[in-house]
Chains A and B, each alone.
Chain A
Amino acid sequence: MSDLKYSQEHEWIRVDGDVATVGISDFAQSQLGDVVFVELPAVGTQVAKDAEAAVVESVKAASDVYAPVSGEVVEVNGALEGTPELVNQSPTGDGWFMKIRLSDPSELDGMMDEAAYAEFSASQG
């Protein structure tokens, strides 16, 4: 899992060429509790770094998910529509949210690696 990078808003990102897969961290899903619904953007949407891109809902809370990078949404995880619990079960695997075609790869520079994020999230708990 060392290929993951993390934002301070608890999103992770995995880059493959010019496309980045985005989801929320294991720490974030554990804080949210049982996820009951995920609202994803439409494919083709242009998202800007740090702007709201999706919403993740538990029974008692709705939280915005911010795009960690700018670009065009090229794919969303349709499986979350029927099985939002994937976000709890496999946050960095089958529970991914969307794929974004990077418009500015340099935005990745400020993100945390696994170890830095582990330290960061521990300070948040």
Chain B
Amino acid sequence: MDRSQGRTSRPDAAGSVSAADAGTHTGNRGLQIEEPLIFEQDAPGRCGVDLPAPPAAGSRLGGLERRDAIGLPGLSEPQVVRHYTRLSQKNYAIDSGFYPLGSCTMKHNPRLNEKLARLPGFADLHPLQPEATVQGALRLIDTLSHWIRTLTGMPAVAMSPAAGAHGELCGLMTARAALEARGDARKRVLVPDSAHGTNPATAAICGYAVEAIPLNDRGRVNLAALKSALGDDVAAFMLTNPNTCGLFEDEILEQAEAVHSAGAYFYCDGANFNAIVGRVRPGDLGIDCMHLNLHKTFSTPHGGGGPGSGPVVLSAALAPYAPLPWVVDCGEGFRLVEHADDAGDARPYGRMKAFHGQMGMFVRALAYMMSHGADGLRQASSDAVLNANYLAARLSDLLSLAYEGPCMHEVLFDDAFLKGTHVSTLDFAKAMIDEGFHPMTMYFPLVVHGALLMEPTESESRESIDQFVEAVRFLAERARAGDSARFHEAPVYTPRRRLDETAAARHPVLRWRPETPHSEAAE
């Protein structure tokens, strides 16, 4: 079969047995168990939940009763538990190993935070209950916002954004609202070449043209280029600091001055705040708005892609334009401001989502902050930077550092060390999987050829980093010794080996559909 021409046929419900798995009857390999889709395990009439029969009552559905079968499969509770347990076993996770994912900050997720978020006093609370019945929830939001404002040195915070990119959108919309309020919406947003993809995407949704600013040869924003790009039509400069090369922007005060003297706002992407918590306050750097990723810096779990939470801290200039809602401490109790009419002198530009923000994430983040305290948070960022520099020092003789000098919480290598080996950055990363590690961030930032971005976080012990270092060194040596087959075949010890992304994108299959005789014939 020529797989470049499209897709393979669907295996039967028992799982297909390919040549590679001919060794077992089931296709399973010990603890690696083949698991069909739930739709392929359907036993009509089976149900995993014991619900009472509905009381006899008429219908008020206006003749719109659902008549046809939906097509959901029937399974028992033990079947469902086993199914998702087996699926879980096909995942890498921070609980099971090291995630050196630069820019993503995969740190340990303490279970205390999970326990507290599940207290009925938070989890079983409706967002539209009377304020008198949710005072503790409002107190928690107010307390968290105090911690966030103190750590960032900023006067205000908008709590509602649901993730980092949502926070970015919130921050840039706040800036645009402030500009419009002075009758000067402007047209352009400046973004460094090394920025996260969300930055230009966010600027576009705010109606701005995006202009890239090059880096200098030290991996920082080229200040002269920034100054010459600034003008009276520039709304904002969006910077990540520490930047995506893992470096502190050492000319940030000059950048801020240039941005402000052009009448623009200074947006900071706070994805890398983990490096400087307790050591540097963005408010001291001249920043007007910055989102925080509570799921990076403050350890709320990534959950396989969310939920996150992206509160946005705001300067005094932007605070009046923050979106609804927010919590007010009235002395005798807490109130929610949910409508513009109730906002006093503030001029909120709108609302980011339904209700009041990611309460479940707030509880976890506050538990993390209180557990660490002012001293522990500073210690954590110091340890994160120490770990990254230790990793850099132990690899810099063999790999090729993109930029010299101390890094912050992550270290960036380029692929020069792979030159002539016929091993790509991707191959190298896939070989790391066989060694039991999650790959590092690859091909990002875009400014470095074949980038490998590694972030150990403060969670990893020296022993764990040493083990990782030895694996990287082993592989780098194997690559140079000409053992390229190892890399091209990798990974081989995973539930699935390299997957055909071209076939997936050319002829997308995005859902299960029942087999029909017709489609079988077609295949």
Contact = CB atoms under 8 A, between A and B. Distances in A.
Contacts of A36: 502, 505-506
Interface in A42-69: 57-59
B4 interface: yes
Nearest to A57: B505
Contact of A37 (B4, B5, B505): B505
B501 interface: yes
* Size bracket of the A interface: under 10
Contacts of A85: 4-5, 506
A57 B501 CA distance: 13
Interface string B500-521: 0110011000000000000000
A59 B501 contact: yes
Contacts of B502: 34, 36, 58-59
A49 B26 CA distance: 59
Contacts of B4: 34, 85
Contacts of A59: 501-502, 505
Nearest to B506: A36
Interface residues of B, number: 6
A20 B76 CA distance: 63
A25 to B, nearest CB: 20
Nearest to B5: A85
A59 B507 CA distance: 12
A84 B136 CA distance: 57
B58 to A, nearest CB: 50
A110 B29 CA distance: 63
B166 to A, nearest CB: 23
A84 B4 CA distance: 12
Interface string B1-20: 00011000000000000000
Contacts of A34: 4, 502, 506
Contacts of A84: 506
A84 B503 CA distance: 11
Interface string A74-113: 0000000000110000000000000000000000000000
Interface string B222-250: 00000000000000000000000000000
A17 B487 CA distance: 52
A65 B480 CA distance: 39
A107 to B, nearest CB: 26
Interface string A31-44: 00010110000000
Nearest to A33: B502
Interface string B326-354: 00000000000000000000000000000
Nearest to B443: A60
A30 to B, nearest CB: 15
B6 to A, nearest CB: 9
B296 to A, nearest CB: 24
A34 B506 CA distance: 9
Contacts of B505: 36-37, 57, 59
A96 to B, nearest CB: 18
Nearest to B501: A59
B3 to A, nearest CB: 11
Contacts of B501: 59
B5 to A, nearest CB: 8
A33 B440 CA distance: 23
A84 B6 CA distance: 11
A59 B502 CA distance: 6
Interface string A11-40: 000000000000000000000001011000
Interface in B465-523: 501-502, 505-506
A56 to B, nearest CB: 12
B439 to A, nearest CB: 15
B201 to A, nearest CB: 13
A34 B502 CA distance: 7
A16 to B, nearest CB: 30
Nearest to B502: A34
Given A34-B506, A85-B506, 15 more contacts: A34-B4, A34-B502, A36-B502, A36-B505, A36-B506, A37-B505, A37-B506, A57-B505, A58-B502, A59-B501, A59-B502, A59-B505, A84-B506, A85-B4, A85-B5
17 contacts: A34-B4, A34-B502, A34-B506, A36-B502, A36-B505, A36-B506, A37-B505, A37-B506, A57-B505, A58-B502, A59-B501, A59-B502, A59-B505, A84-B506, A85-B4, A85-B5, A85-B506
Interface of A: 34, 36-37, 57-59, 84-85
Interface of B: 4-5, 501-502, 505-506
Q: Closest 8 A-B residue pairs measured CB to CB?
A: A36-B505, A34-B502, A59-B501, A36-B506, A59-B505, A59-B502, A36-B502, A84-B506
